[in-house]
Structure 1
Amino acid sequence: MEQILQRALEQKQRLEMIYISEQGEYSQRIILLVKNNEYDFLAYCYTKQAVRRFKKDHVLSILPYKKGKRFEA
Structure 2
Amino acid sequence: MNGLLLRAASNGELLEMIYQDNKGNISQRRIKVLAVGEESFRAFCHIRKQQRTFKLENVLSVGPERKIRRGA
TM-score by length of 2: 0.91
SS in 1 for 2:16: strand
Deviation at 1:8, TM superposition (A): 0.2
Secondary structure in structure 2 of the residue aligned to 1:19: strand
1:66 is displaced (CA, Å) by: 2.0
Identity %: 38
Match of 1:23 in 2: 23
Q: Which has the larger radius of gyration?
A: 2
Match of 1:12 in 2: 12
CA RMSD of aligned residues (A): 1.1
- Structure 1: 4+ residue segments shifted above 6 A: none
Matched with 1:44 is 44
Residue ranges of structure 2 left out of the alignment (5+ in a row): none
Q: CA deviation at 1:68?
A: 2.2
Q: Residue deviations 1:51-72, cap 9 Å, x none?
A: 0000000000000112227xxx
Gaps of 5+ in 1: none
Return the alpha-carbon distance in structure 2 between the equivalents of residues 47 and 68 of structure 1. 17
Other structure's SS at 2:10 match: helix
| Deviations 1:6-50, CA, capped at 9 Å, x for gaps | 110111000100000000000000000011011000000000000
